Chain A
């Protein structure tokens, strides 16, 4: 455990000296908070119009999510805001990928990996330290963003019904459980890629592919193919647990000190 903490501290000390990384970690969450709040604000302003007409654009499958206590205006807001649920899930994926992708291959380029691997640290300790160092700030940023988002809702005059929906099980599970699980998967995937390539740029580019399934889910919801309700979220969490176990196992077993050191040439 001590070695894992040393690696986490080392990674943070290095990463947080980098202004670009800090900027990404602060700016991206702010955008992800601002977007849904702005959407709520502007939809709230324009709800005096043809709400029934607007609701006709909402996929039929989603209307059951609205419940009987919601007005048409509330239902429209919930539908729109539900699109941003995926953004809050995407946040813990986007932030750590850059850090994790650079993690191993970056040490290879600066030639600091060899002396590090020459210490009595085990592969598990090294990878656990690196993945936690990337995942923890991202998870914290995701939770913090969601907290700011919740604080902003009453200020925009969002109705109690909509607020209750957002702090309901689907959203809470998405932000508090699914997001961190995705962060762990993303970080381990990025570390896996990072240990297999020789160029940090390649590692980043490949790792960013991870957001494709989330984007697919976003468009599927927009098209009415799926509705992210509690059942979908629980199924997704169960799947992500399996993915995480698989990714961690794969990362540790495939991390070959020898290949990483010698393939450099």
Chain B
């Protein structure tokens, strides 16, 4: 659905050095995938979205979006994608319905009334359709902006910070709506700072800071960065068990935290029973066993930290 090849954007500043916002971005986003684009503020995420939605042109590199060539078929790209901008950007004096009708007509939607009703009802704004948007809360505006992005039934949806600044209830509604869109098979390219949200919603994530640092599924990134670790909760621990467990096949590392043994394993499903038998034979009381699940935040921070070190070295 999206294919970029060395996509680069350098902003020219009149007085001073050029600012590289996106450098050599080569990326593929598959149809029906929810792709999370993560990075710090100023990393170039919004610039990437703007390039991929034909709002701004790249300095170099190529991209195909929905099968259309960037720079050659910009009108077709704009017609095929939906964009939720970082800020909802509505016409405050106009009603919700009028706001949406303007966009529906610009996108040449055939059944404007039907589409308005469909999405306003879906996002719980139907009863407020005739109210001026100026009277809406931030969450309502965001929901309205989501309606706007979907009116023309785009195959590909770009969401820039979809839950930014929303209260937990509104954020939950938006997240569940994104899940609905995923289940409909839509392709979603999403920028977010909410890493739990990305973990929950995204099939794959790209960690980005001007350059693309890592791309994979959250699970693969966990394995790649931290390996698989299993936590054995014991009633008490005898330090002599640590070298014993370390010597077992497939165990790469053992550490002790309070009464917990944290064991790095290649294949927990096969090795856990053997470790439990060994510990029980030594007189251990095994209370719980569970996988140590690293949060996406830890993955993100680890990746960013490593990247910072590499940049500093180079």
| Chain A residues within 8 Å of B, Cβ to Cβ | 2-3, 6, 9-10, 13-14, 17-18, 110-122, 257-258, 261-262
Contact = CB atoms under 8 A, between A and B. Distances in A.
A220 to B, nearest CB: 39
Interface bin, chain B? 20 to 34
Contacts of A6: 102, 105-106
A110 B94 contact: no
Contacts, number: 77
B103 A120 contact: no
Nearest to A258: B56
A120 B53 CA distance: 11
Nearest to A107: B89
Query: Per DSSP, are chain A's interface residues mostly helix, strand or loop, or mixed?
Result: helix
Output the residue of A10, A14, A111, A118 with the most chain B CB within 10 A.
Answer: A118
Contact of A120 (B11, B79, B92): B79
B94 A112 contact: no
Interface in B126-169: 145, 148
A22 to B, nearest CB: 12
B107 A120 contact: yes
Contacts of B106: 3, 6, 116, 119-121
A118 B102 CA distance: 13
For the complex of A and B, the 3 pairs showing the least CB-CB separation, nearest first, are: A111-B89, A112-B89, A111-B87
Contacts of B91: 10, 13-14, 110, 112
A84 B242 CA distance: 100
A61 B102 CA distance: 55
B78 A118 contact: yes
A258 B55 contact: yes
B107 A115 contact: no
Contacts of A18: 93
Interface string B59-87: 00000000000000001001101010101
B145 A115 contact: yes
A241 B266 CA distance: 79
B268 interface: no
B221 to A, nearest CB: 31
Contacts of B54: 118
14 contacts: A2-B108, A10-B91, A13-B93, A13-B98, A17-B94, A110-B92, A111-B85, A114-B83, A118-B78, A119-B106, A120-B107, A257-B56, A258-B56, A262-B11
Given A110-B89, A115-B145, A122 B75 contact: yes
A119 B94 contact: no
